[in-house]
Chain A
């Protein structure tokens, strides 16, 4: 029999707050985390806009061997995971004695790769890279390091699925637990925020250039949107078998009830509405729900002209005239890329816990497609029983998750 899968802990390290409480406040107030990185101007970026996020100082918190293998996104993930395990009431003694897995989304470690290559070019000697370069540079850097730091003994791998990585990580964690293969998995997504990681994305002219108004640059679904704003950080969730959570007396935050996925089979960067439509339908079908059961949609909408248009078309196709409240928290956070699918489940769950819908800030004028959606232009105090979170990525990978308030047996 399929197991129920619940969220028993969450942690967040993002440009709108470095813990759950600060993020809750930012979401409620509609506070933007976007600013300018002057270095990007100097080195030839088309857009210097980015989420602004401090790098955590881990010296003194983690011993050297555990600390030095962490690339920037791993440092963010460590901070988010510390909070998530604490939130779940899980300490290191529990982790040493029990089998806990990790499935985390990450799709680059550009700074580590480029800096190591710079040393090789300068010194012409790989032995002068030191021992940590390899552990920072691999795509699986987050899972390999967190598994060591937190002594994890269950399933352990990284999900690389572009901007849907974090969402698929939760979806896979849900499937492993639902099928009885694991009873607790750390899931999440991490995204480096340094300029090295964003140069090639900037090359596509996909970023907003509204540099005179950084906090207004990310404006998903707005008629005058001109591109996304890259951002980063990490989000962690503890997924757990419901019975296991009850048995250990855990605080159950929410329940993951549906995972839908699809691939567009089309263009590498341009989206279409069919793939995202399929993912949403599958997630609701998996949850045993119909469109009218959804109270809130956390849209993928990144503020690009085409991406938002196709998502609006897909949402309209699924929900029609009875569209639930929709907002894209990327209007505040920017596009957290590999992390976004996980962070947006954290953001939406915070809204569900506190009975409000965070605003899609900067939505001033609709276009013909977004006019058909029920977009939250300001914070709305409202009970949310069920939400759906969309995440889409390059290559046409799509993921949708349905999460609901938990009713104990």
Chain B
């Protein structure tokens, strides 16, 4: 899966399922402050990522991820190492 596909799928589910405002989506956006994603939303993102990408997010691997760009990187690395 290309990075462009990962970005598209991720942005689409953030808008459609997490109902993030499309206007605030960019690679530098902070999960918490810009996208408004809280700990409960993240529980749902784990479920969605498993459905869309076929792997389960591990909290400890996400500890340094604070921006959307970092999240694309994380998904890309997981997809490339399968």
Contact = CB atoms under 8 A, between A and B. Distances in A.
A64 B17 CA distance: 8
Interface string B25-52: 0000000000000001101101100100
A129 B47 CA distance: 7
Interface in A105-144: 125, 127-132
B12 interface: no
Nearest to A67: B19
Interface string B43-77: 11011001000001000000000000000000000
B18 interface: yes
Contacts of A38: none
A131 B43 contact: yes
A131 B18 contact: no
Give chain A's interface residue range (CB within 8 Å of chain B).
10 to 19
A137 B50 CA distance: 23
A322 interface: no
B55 to A, nearest CB: 12
Contact of A128 (B19, B40, B46): B46
B62 to A, nearest CB: 13
B19 A64 contact: yes
Given A63-B19, A64-B18, A64-B19, A125 B56 contact: yes
Given A127-B56, A128-B50, A65 B43 contact: no
Nearest to B43: A131
Give chain B's interface residue range (CB within 8 Å of chain A).
10 to 19
A194 B58 CA distance: 35
Contacts of A130: 43-44, 47
A43 to B, nearest CB: 26
Contacts of B41: 65, 131
Nearest to A64: B19
A130 B18 CA distance: 12
A130 B47 CA distance: 6
B56 A131 contact: no
Contacts of A129: 47
Contacts of A64: 18-19
Given A63-B19, A64-B19, A127 B43 contact: yes
Contacts of B46: 127-128
A131 to B, nearest CB: 4
A75 B53 CA distance: 31
Contacts of B56: 125, 127-128
B51 to A, nearest CB: 9
A195 B63 CA distance: 42
Nearest to B36: A65
B16 to A, nearest CB: 10
A130 B49 CA distance: 11
B43 to A, nearest CB: 4
A125 B50 CA distance: 12
Nearest to B20: A64
Interface string A52-82: 0000000000011100100000000000000
Interface in A121-176: 125, 127-132
B25 to A, nearest CB: 16
A131 B38 CA distance: 11
B36 to A, nearest CB: 10
A130 B41 CA distance: 9
Given A125-B56, A127-B56, A65 B40 contact: yes
A319 B19 CA distance: 58
Closest 5 CB pairs of A and B: A131-B43, A131-B40, A64-B19, A130-B47, A130-B44
7 contacts: A63-B19, A65-B40, A127-B47, A130-B43, A131-B43, A131-B44, A132-B44
